[in-house]
């Protein structure tokens, strides 16, 4: 990918377009991210950048992580991740939110909110059982789960109560509404997975990049 950055979801707000239309946006603190190492095909078998994000006290890091920052004489950061970025980034370089611009299409990955053990109405959107005619205290239960003695068991992948949320989620083709370089802020139209202050990865839209590549290939083929 050409563009990607680590960020923190700060919450949601709204902005107004010149025509007066209200647009809900998610506020993301994107970067700055510092490149602390580079993975290469010759040494590691693939190309990627090891980047860091988020201020943290030295006492909160273990010795291997702290040593990685002292090796390049950089301030310690809380989060360390690998990003497969194109471009000539040197160790110690900083990636800022201005790699994106307004109206860019992006994909955002994060961990969704955890809801704990939930029933089928909340987890799968089931409707309630009837509230009268002797239904009993089972109004929010899932009802029958299998056939009678023909199979005498519950099949796999049956929608039932259980753990809900806390999954890795990616929302594609979101749009950047505004870029604030001074405060390292991205305003993204729509919602983003995860609770407030959770970590997210912002990257260029995969489908949009494929679309542009196919268009350029068609033009070259036509010429």
Cα-Cα-Cα-Cα dihedral of 20, 8, 104, 88, to 10°?
Answer: 150
Q: What is the DSSP letter of 1?
A: -
Task: Pinpoint the residues of the chain covered by CATH 2.40.30.10.
Answer: 4-115+167-222
Percent of the chain as helix, strand, coil, to the nearest 5: 20, 40, 45
Residue listed under structure tokens 């002797």: 134
pLDDT at 215: 67
pLDDT at 220: 66
d(CA 94, CA 67): 19
**3-state SS, one letter per residue, for 124-190:** HCCCCCCCCCCCCCCCCCCCCCCCCCCCCCCCCCCCCCEEEECCEEEEEEEEEEEEECCCCEEEEEC
- CATH fold of 4-115+167-222, please? Elongation Factor Tu (Ef-tu); domain 3 (2.40.30)
> 83: closest CA among 7, 8, 30, 5?
5
Exposed/middle/buried for 121, CB within 10 Å: 0-12, 13-18, 19+?
A: middle
d(CA 37, CA 219): 38
d(CA 209, CA 104): 11
> 13: closest CA among 196, 198, 205?
196
For 186, the token pair is 């991205």
Tens digits of pLDDT across the chain (223 residues): 688 899 999 999 998 988 889 999 999 998 788 888 888 888 888 888 888 888 888 888 888 888 888 888 888 888 888 888 877 788 888 888 888 888 889 999 999 999 999 999 999 998 888 888 877 788 888 878 877 777 788 888 889 999 988 999 999 999 998 888 888 899 999 999 999 999 999 998 888 767 766 766 666 666 6
Phi-psi region of 217 (alpha: psi -120 to 50; beta: other; left: phi over 0): alpha
Q: What pTM does this model have? A: 0.77
For 92, the token pair is 């110690």
d(CA 203, CA 192): 13
pLDDT at 35: 87
């Amino acid at each position: 990918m050409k563009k990607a950055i680590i960020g923190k979801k700060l919450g949601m707000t709204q902005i107004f377009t010149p025509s007066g239309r209200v647009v809900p946006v998610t506020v993301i603190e994107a970067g700055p991210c510092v490149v602390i190492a580079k993975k290469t095909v010759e040494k590691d078998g693939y190309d990627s950048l090891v980047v860091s994000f988020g201020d943290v006290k030295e006492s909160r890091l273990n010795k291997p992580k702290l040593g990685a920052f002292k090796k390049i004489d950089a301030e310690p950061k809380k989060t360390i991740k690998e990003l497969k970025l194109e471009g000539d980034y040197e160790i110690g370089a900083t990636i800022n939110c201005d790699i994106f611009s307004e109206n860019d299409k992006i994909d955002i990955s994060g961990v969704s909110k955890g809801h704990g053990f939930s029933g089928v109405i909340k987890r799968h959107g089931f409707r309630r059982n009837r509230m009268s005619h002797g239904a009993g205290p089972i109004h929010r239960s899932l009802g029958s789960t299998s056939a009678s003695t023909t199979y005498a068991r519950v099949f796999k992948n049956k929608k039932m109560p259980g753990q809900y949320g806390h999954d890795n989620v990616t929302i594609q083709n979101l749009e950047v509404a505004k870029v604030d370089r001074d405060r390292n802020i991205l305003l993204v139209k729509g919602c983003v997975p995860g609770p407030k202050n959770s970590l997210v990865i912002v990257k260029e839209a995969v489908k949009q990049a494929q679309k542009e590549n196919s268009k350029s290939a068609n033009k070259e083929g036509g010429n």
